[in-house]
Every structure is written in structure tokens, then in C-alpha cells.
Amino acid sequence: MIVTVTPNPSLDRTVELAELHRGEVHRALSGRLDPGGKGVNVARALTKAGLDTIAVLPSGRAPGGRLNGLLDALGVHAVTVPIHGATRSNITLVEPDGTTTKINEPGPVLTAEEVAEIAEQAVARAPGASWLVTCGSLPEGMPGTFHGDLVRRARSGGTRVAVDTSGAPLVAAVAACPDLIKPNHEELAELVGRPLDSLGDVLAAARELRAGGVGAVLVSLGADGALLVEESGEYHAMTPPVTVRSTVGAGDATLAGFLAAGGAGPDALRRAVAYGAAACRLPGSAMPGPLDIPLADVRLHPAPDAALVL
């Protein structure tokens, strides 16, 4: 079983446009509504792959009820914590060349009691789980140490913890020494405080984090695939160029693929990159399933080319 935690879930509406013109009226080519938030997306992909998954998240007012209904329709087992504020809604505008414009609401303001209950529901389900995965932005009222606190509490009970967040919450989570972090290129550069212009720069940053106590670093690199630095070695994997329909949720699919394949080693990295590429081919924040995964397209490099310019 894998437990995901999403402190700031959302209703994600995606609208496809022929072309975006600021200040003009547009006629949409298509639209869709998905349950969203990083941990929710990971849970959706894992559920689609047939893995036993529990998604822990706050749920507020009518949007929260709509989100719960969408998760139920997808077969995702959700543990929801009622909150006074309303679950946020996000809007994504996608053009035919894959250009994506996102408008994310800040989310509700949580009380200290609501924050504590979300954490308790997650920690209560961690024993016996293969992973606890805590992901995404933090709503107002939630301390910046939330992800890091979950790392400490779950790991103290013997559960492996993966973290996918950014900014100050990622700094706090890294200080708690999680078993896995999954930043993208930009988030990793922000974390280490310097530009990462080549694959060698990314390797060096990941090695530093491992030396500081992080178990493994999985870095999503967009069109350049993903890099894994862990105890067993360092690996880079990528696919040939894909026709991008939407990049929303591709990083979440990458993490889900990695965990679905065991959460360690080059085979898990291959699955991660395949999941990420498959997600880019799908509309909105749709998560890929086993039939969408082109594993044969993934090229694995056991000796990453440090000179590769990103």
C-alpha cells in the first residue's frame, strides 16, 4: 500500500484553445475537469496501475464534494478531512503546440486543528505502507515544516517517505532526511541556490543532497528525461521527443511510475520516464495507465553524460 498526502488539493479545469490572445474572447476546442494536486495525481496514477493506494486530503464545501466525487468515480480510495474553507479550483489553458498557461488559486485558510487532523490521518495509515508520499504546495495556515514533520513521524515508525514540493517547504523536508525527493530542474536549482546548466551540475547537486542525508534524488528534466542518484548508482533516462498535449501532472506521473516499479533502481527510473512521457501525450492532467506506457521507447544511460547541456 502507498499513502499519498495532498495538503492543497484542487479541482483542475483544462481548456484547450487554438491560440491564446490576451484580452480577447476565445472559443474553447475542448474542456475537462480532473481532481488535482500533486499527491492526488500520484494516487490516481497508482490506482490506475492497480496498486493499493490511499489519498489523504482536506475537503471543503461544494468544490470539495465535487473533488471527492471525481476521485470516487476513478476508484481512488480517499480519506478526507472536512475543513471550513473551500477547496481551490485551478485553470489550465493549453495551446496546440503544448504551451501551457496555469492559473492556480491559493487555496483555503486552514485552522491549526484542521492541519493537525490531516497529519494524524496520514500518520495513522503509514504503518505497514511501503511509502508515504507527501506532495505539493501548502495552504495558508499550514506551517512550512508540514512535509518535514511528516517525514520525521512516518520514518520513526519505519515507513519510507517521498517528498515532492518546492521552495521553503522542500528545504524543511530535506532537513528531515526523507528517503526520496523528486524536484524538477528548476526546483533543484532553487534548493541548492545556484544555476544548474548541465547534467553534471544536476548530478553534483543531487550528490550534495545525498551527502546531507537524503536517501535518493529523482530529478525530472522535462524533454531531457529524468536523473536518479541513489545508493546503488547514478542513472539518466529519456525518451525520443514526444508530441506534447499537456504537461500538467507529468512530474506527478513520473513519481508515480517510479514508485509503481518499486521506488529504486534503473528499472524504476525507466518506468518513471515512461509515465512522464505518456502523461504529456494526454489531455489536461489525465494520468496514464499501464497501456499508455511506452517502456520500449526509454533509453537508459547508466553513466550519465555530465557534459549534456540542459
Residue 289 per-residue DSSP state = -
Closest CA to 132 of 264, 5, 269, 42: 5
Query: What's phi and psi for 45, nearest 5 deg?
Result: -65, -40
Q: How many residues does the chain have?
A: 310
Sequence-ordered list of residues with C-beta below 8 angstroms from that of 21, at least 6 positions apart, any chain: none
With beta carbons less than 8 A apart as the criterion, state whether 1 and 50 touch.
no
Other Cβ atoms within 10 Å of 197 Cβ, number = 11
Closest CA to 93 of 23, 20, 10: 20
> What is each CA distance from 286 to 4, 36, 52, 124, 305, in whole angstroms?
18, 10, 19, 29, 32
Catalytic residue among 12, 164, 252, 292: 252
Q: Which residues of 226-260 are buried (b: 16+ CB within 10 A; e: fewer)?
A: bbbbbeeebbbbbbeebebbbbbbbbbbbbbbbbb
For helices 146-156 and 112-125, give the axis angle rounded to 10 degrees.
30
- C-alpha cell recorded at residue 262: 518499486
| 103 class by beta-carbon count within 10 Å (0-12 exposed, 13-18 middle, 19+ buried) | exposed
Sign of the Cα pseudo-torsion (44, 45, 47, 51, in order): negative
252 tagged catalytic: yes
Instruction: List the catalytic residues.
Output: 252
